[in-house]
Amino acid sequence: MSQSTAPRSRIVRWIQGDSGTRWGSGPEQYCEDSSRVLYRRMGRLFGDGRYFGLKVDGWENLPEDRNVLAVSNHSGGTTVLDGFGLWYAWQQQFGFSRPGHAMAHEMLFAADGPGRMFAQLGAVRADRKMAVEVLRTWRRDLIVMPGGDRDTWRPWKDRYKVNFAGRTGYAKIAIKAGVPVVPIANAGAQSTLMVLTDGAPLARAMGLPKLARAEIFPVSLSFPWGLTIGPLPHLPPPTTLRYKIGAPIPPPITVAAGEEPPAWAVAQLDAQVQAAVQSQLDELKAESRPRQVLRQLRRRSTSLRDTVRGGEVPLAAK
């Protein structure tokens, strides 16, 4: 069984004690039966005509003959709505024979009950050594959202901007594992609350990076709390979760097992991936419903004006 080498935060050590927990320690904990049960239950909330609609473009960009490192922006606060939506869509597309393991924050595995659930769904601890093992040894897909808390709590004005917060570990993982990176952009979850500020300076002042491995202490407007201080989970209103999957980006070089990739290669791959995710996010912004409604209104008003000037009145206006 794989073992995470990442240090635990003080809060997690306090919850778990010295022994820690085994949940999230490797892909072997994935349970197809548990995934099927949750998938059926989530079908009441996710999908066409459900509380959370799903729209995914670009499945054809996921190679059928090899595994990949899927890299996405992160949205929607502590509720992790974008992650659940992507998990459900992934199962819907591939069934349960191709699990997409997601790297997750250690807090998800802190308590035994939630830790077991997330591990059985395929989540693994955010640890580079384990990530390479999932990709290189197990030859399974791995889903990473590098921006973590900084990305998911980015302010409302930046909801269509990628924020990986300078984290390039995923690029090192892809090069060491020798797998392509598939960029994924998502939108919709970030619109279920209004983040006013991520509170990063306050988080540093409170010592949260060591206490909870968290770099934020956000201020937001959300239901049911109203003005919310801190990363509290919220109740999201109905929304459509939209995803765009881009073409695979191959690593710029290959390295031998155990060899560290050079900095230039990591920087190059990171720049390519961030540019691709941002481009796809720009497309999602252009396709957003408010803009579509405005465009339709403009087209209809222009059409009506031209028709009236031409001496004809459309039936709908009579």
pTM of the model: 0.83
For the chain, give every domain's residue range.
10-287, 292-318
Q: Helix H segments across the chain?
A: 10-16, 32-42, 81-94, 112-120, 128-132, 148-152, 169-177, 200-205, 208-212, 263-286, 289-309
Phi and psi at residue 279, to the nearest 5°: -65, -40
Q: Tell which residue, 66, 47, 64, has the closest CA to residue 55.
A: 47
The CA distances from residue 272 to 243, 249, 251, 268, in Å, are 19, 8, 10, 6
**Amino acid at the residue 52:** F
Tens place of pLDDT for every residue, the chain, 318 residues? Answer: 444 445 544 444 434 455 555 889 899 999 999 999 999 999 999 999 999 999 999 999 999 999 999 999 999 999 999 999 999 999 999 999 899 999 997 778 878 888 999 999 999 998 999 999 999 999 999 999 999 999 999 999 999 999 999 999 999 999 999 999 999 999 999 999 999 999 888 888 888 777 766 788 999 999 999 999 999 999 999 999 999 999 999 999 999 988 999 999 999 999 999 999 999 999 999 998 655 444 444 553 454 444 345 543 333 333
Instruction: Quickly name the fold that domain 10-287 has.
Output: Glycerol-3-phosphate (1)-acyltransferase (3.40.1130)
